Amino acid sequence: MNQQDYEVAVLKMSLEKIDRMLAYVQNIPIYRGDDFTQQVLEERREAMRQSLRIAKQEPYFARLDFLEFDRDEKKSLYIGKVGVHDDKEEQPLVIDWRAPVASLFYSFNGSEEDVYYESPDGIVEGEIQLKRNVVIRARELRRVVDSYVEGQESSGGDEFLLYKLGEQKDNKLKDIVSTIQAEQNSIIRSDVRKPLLIQGAAGSGKTTVALHRLAFLLYEYRERLKAERMMIFAPNAMFLDYIAQVLPELGVGHIQQSTYVDWVLQKLGEAYEVESTEDRIFTRFELQVEPEYQAVMKEKGSLTFRNQLKKYVEEELANRMPVNDFIPWAHGIVKKETIQNWLTQDFVHSPPLKQRERLQARLKRWVEIEVRMFEDEKERKEYKTEGLKAVRRYINSWKKPDELKLYLHFLQQKDYPVSPLLRSGKLMFEDLAPMVFIRQQLIGIDKEDRFDHLVIDEAQDLSPFIISLLNDYTKKGGLTILGDLAQGIHGEEGIVAWDSFVKVLDENCTYVQMEKSYRSTMEIIEYSNGILKQIKNHPPLAKPVFRSGEPVKVTTYSLLFMLQWLKDVKAYETIAFLTRTKKEAEMLALELKEAKVSATLVRAGDTTYQGGISILPIYLSKGFEFDAVMLTNVSSHHYPNDSIHKKLLYVGCTRALHSLSLSYEGTLSPIIPL
Ligand SMILES: Nc1ncnc2c1ncn2[C@@H]1O[C@H](COP(=O)(O)OP(=O)(O)OP(=O)(O)O)[C@@H](O)[C@H]1O
């Protein structure tokens, strides 16, 4: 029997078993009662139903033949998105890709003679005899690709990866379980106790790897980590929509996905308004922020600003503490020294607003005990009423701090500009971290408010202050931070080097660089590197995998030419025109509409990404990818010779998977490589 026929037979048998198991669990009536043991069993059955439904379509994607030395026994292990275990058999039918043994599939490159993996029972040593990718679609075997067969010349393992990378993309990011690369595998599985900081070239798989890491952590540490307490922060709602499918595809649900701004708003409550994403983006990329205010924004994001604010709030709160004796009636007294003792010793671990509540409760209790000395009931009651009034007066003399007032006062003291909008509670992006920080100083952080694990994507656009704030809201070590300094287009708020984040996290954080880029063809990556090289102290250049495509084209602009280009790339699923400004995007959308081309104009603040033909300003394209990209109007007027425009162009060029063209009117920008 040849290998293809053999795998068809294995698939048939596996599907029969999976169908049988699914039919069995589906036939058990769902338990809705309140018996705890039954509820736990029902939860397990539901998880099994969900896994089997995933497995029923594409049970596995890989086979690994492993000879375990101690047992001298060869096993053919089939690896899938979810594990399937038939209780009647000793060996799992399908091994979950996150299981320790599956790690061998990703890390083995064909050159090691002996390999090992860490099982819960210790190190297991052995040798790999076969590493095979198996493509199954809708229960049918489509392809078998061997990347290693013992005794045969190694193919290098790239054939299957290249086949996957050559595919077209629709409007959603996909999982990569069948082709995770060794460097990505070690990031996904890296130590859960240490924060992880990733500098990754454009298209290196940062976002994808971070999502796979979450799925891995939930599998490996299911006793410790809860999906509901894990969070992904991405820059905007449309990007969240774009990545939303990956975790469900991996069989993982309930992980929260949000933007940093929405999280802040939820923390601060409805009293505040935040500048809209549209306004913020428009001001930054089209109106240009005044250099003096850019400096203010940068300072507001610094750790120095955070430390000054901390000191200020602590001093303010200390100044507001009550300094008088508590005297509810003649000869009834709690001395100020006693109150100070309570505050500085008994309540020392409570945040100020809690201290205030605790002091109020303790004084009330004191009154209730003291009035027992009055034997006459009427008199007792009267003293009690008087005493409680006095408690209220005393506590009210300790002015309840208001976070906005504190912030405004601090800014004034330090000579920072304070706009009328800010006075009225409308916050700019750079004011969000300080406001949540003050709130945190006042009320502390509840246990339930802390994330078990937090992924922060596009972190190069966030400030050290924001990272330190988010670190406070995450359990120790639970941060995965990823970004690319080459794509740091929010210069006024973001960072130019990762050291400030390392300082926040802890010297022990794991820092990794991902240089290999998987998204684009060699031609596109080399072209984009030509732009990146022009930036002083640029981060490492992206290294392409060996996937060749068409050359990058630079031509003069005309509508006719655009329409011809659309015809040339019409076989692709996702096509994008990236303009420099919003206005140009709007005009092009009109022109294409008149030419009867159906395209979507993408705006800041959109919540879904449609795919097909999109028109959007270049600064909104970050994080996305398209089969074919046309950068319009790359003239010297739009892209002058400075670092922010080089970064914008770099972002734009690296969005293309297979085809990249640039067009211009007038004089070509000097930063465009020819
Ligand atoms: N191991 C892999 N196998 C197949 N495809 C991969 C692999 N790694 C990454 N990719 C693909 O490369 C593309 C880029 O991935 P992703 O968007 O996660 O990269 P990124 O580093 O976040 O990119 P950017 O910073 O440029 O937005 C995606 O299409 C992803 O599916």
Within the chain, which residues score under 70 in pLDDT?
154-157, 491-492
- Ligand 1 binding pocket includes 184 (Cβ within 6 Å): yes
Q: Determine the distance separating the centroid of ligand 1 and the alpha carbon of 633, expressed in angstroms.
A: 27
State in words which class domain 186-287+445-517 has: alpha beta
Q: 488 a known binding residue?
A: no
For the chain, the domains span 3-167, 186-287+445-517, 321-397, 522-664
Q: Determine the distance separating the centroid of ligand 1 and the alpha carbon of 205, expressed in angstroms.
A: 3
pLDDT in tens, 9-22: 999 999 999 999 99
Spatial separation of the C-alpha atoms in residues 417 and 295, rounded to whole Å: 12
- Nearest atom in ligand 1 to the alpha carbon of residue 209 is 18
- Ligand 1 binding pocket includes 483 (Cβ within 6 Å): no
- Ligand 1 binding pocket includes 200 (Cβ within 6 Å): yes
Look up the ipTM and state it: 0.99
Q: Determine the distance separating the centroid of ligand 1 and the alpha carbon of 268, expressed in angstroms.
A: 35
What pLDDT score does 492 carry? Answer: 66
- Ligand 1 binding pocket includes 179 (Cβ within 6 Å): yes
Probe target for ligand 1 pocket from 176, 214, 520, with the most ligand atoms within 8 Å of CB = 176
Per-residue DSSP letter, 657: E
Residues pairing with 146 in the sheet: 132
The whole-model pTM stands at 0.90
- Cα–chain-centroid distance for residue 625? 17
CB half-sphere exposure, 208, CA atoms < 13 A: 24
- Nearest atom in ligand 1 to the alpha carbon of residue 204 is 21
- Nearest atom in ligand 1 to the alpha carbon of residue 181 is 1
- Ligand 1 binding pocket includes 518 (Cβ within 6 Å): yes
What pLDDT score does 156 carry? Answer: 54
Q: Determine the distance separating the centroid of ligand 1 and the alpha carbon of 535, expressed in angstroms.
A: 23
Domain 522-664: which CATH number of 3.40.50.300, 3.40.605.10, 3.30.70.1230, 1.10.10.60: 3.40.50.300
pLDDT in tens, 153-162: 765 557 888 8
- Nearest atom in ligand 1 to the alpha carbon of residue 208 is 18
Buried b / exposed e across 552-588, counting CB within 10 Å, b at 16+? bebeebeeeebeebbeebeebebbbbbbbbbebbeeb
pLDDT in tens, 527-540: 999 999 999 889 99
What pLDDT score does 157 carry? Answer: 57
- Ligand 1 binding pocket includes 211 (Cβ within 6 Å): no
**Protein residue closest via CA to atom 14 of ligand 1:** 203
What pLDDT score does 154 carry? Answer: 62
**Protein residue closest via CA to atom 29 of ligand 1:** 519
Residues pairing with 329 in the sheet: 332
Q: Determine the distance separating the centroid of ligand 1 and the alpha carbon of 105, expressed in angstroms.
A: 19
- Ligand 1 binding pocket includes 544 (Cβ within 6 Å): no
- Ligand 1 binding pocket includes 285 (Cβ within 6 Å): no
SS3 for 417-454 is CCCHHHHCCEECHHHHHHHHHHHHHHHCCCHHHCECEE
Probe target for ligand 1 pocket from 168, 482, 518, with the most ligand atoms within 8 Å of CB = 518
**Protein residue closest via CA to atom 27 of ligand 1:** 623
Q: Which secondary-structure segment (H or E) carries 578? A: strand 575-579
